[in-house]
Amino acid sequence: QITLKESGPTLVRPTQTLTLTCTFSGFSLTTSGVGVGWIRQPPGKALEWLALIYWDDDKRYSPSLKSRLTITKDTSKNQVVLTMTSMDLVDTGTYYCAHRPSYDWFDPWGQGTLVTVSS
């Protein structure tokens, strides 16, 4: 059974850097074709993809947020870390990590973690 869980701060001040960790089990990020992605959702709004990292360390970023994002993996800990710099009020939302089994879809998703940006 594959599970993922997001962890990190619930409150971030404007201009600060957000660091989120996705801890997973039931699969390995050393398996060919496998990836982990980050997706966020502002309150009452649509899903927005942020970043992807694959088994071979190939990294992909949302073009609109690329300058602010860094995604890394620690295969020994079964973790993927996302950092987002220069946090702003509009970055408030639920952040999800998800398993990408073969380059093409997300399944399953973590439960999500709500991040509020406020001074």
Residues forming contacts to another protein in the complex (CB under 8 A) are: 37, 39, 46-49, 52, 60-63, 96, 104-112
Give me the least distance between CB of 80 and another protein, in Å please: 15
Residue 12 or 37 with smaller CB distance to another protein: 37
Place of tokens 């390995």: 28
C-beta neighbour count of 50 within 10 angstroms: 23
Residue 104 or 119 with smaller CB distance to another protein: 104
Give me the least distance between CB of 3 and another protein, in Å please: 11
Give me the least distance between CB of 112 and another protein, in Å please: 5
How far, in Å, CA of 4 to CA of 58, rounded? 20
Tokens coding 101:
């089994």
C-beta neighbour count of 70 within 10 angstroms: 15
Helix (H) or strand (E) holding 117: strand 113-117
Residue 16 or 62 with smaller CB distance to another protein: 62
Residue 46 or 90 with smaller CB distance to another protein: 46
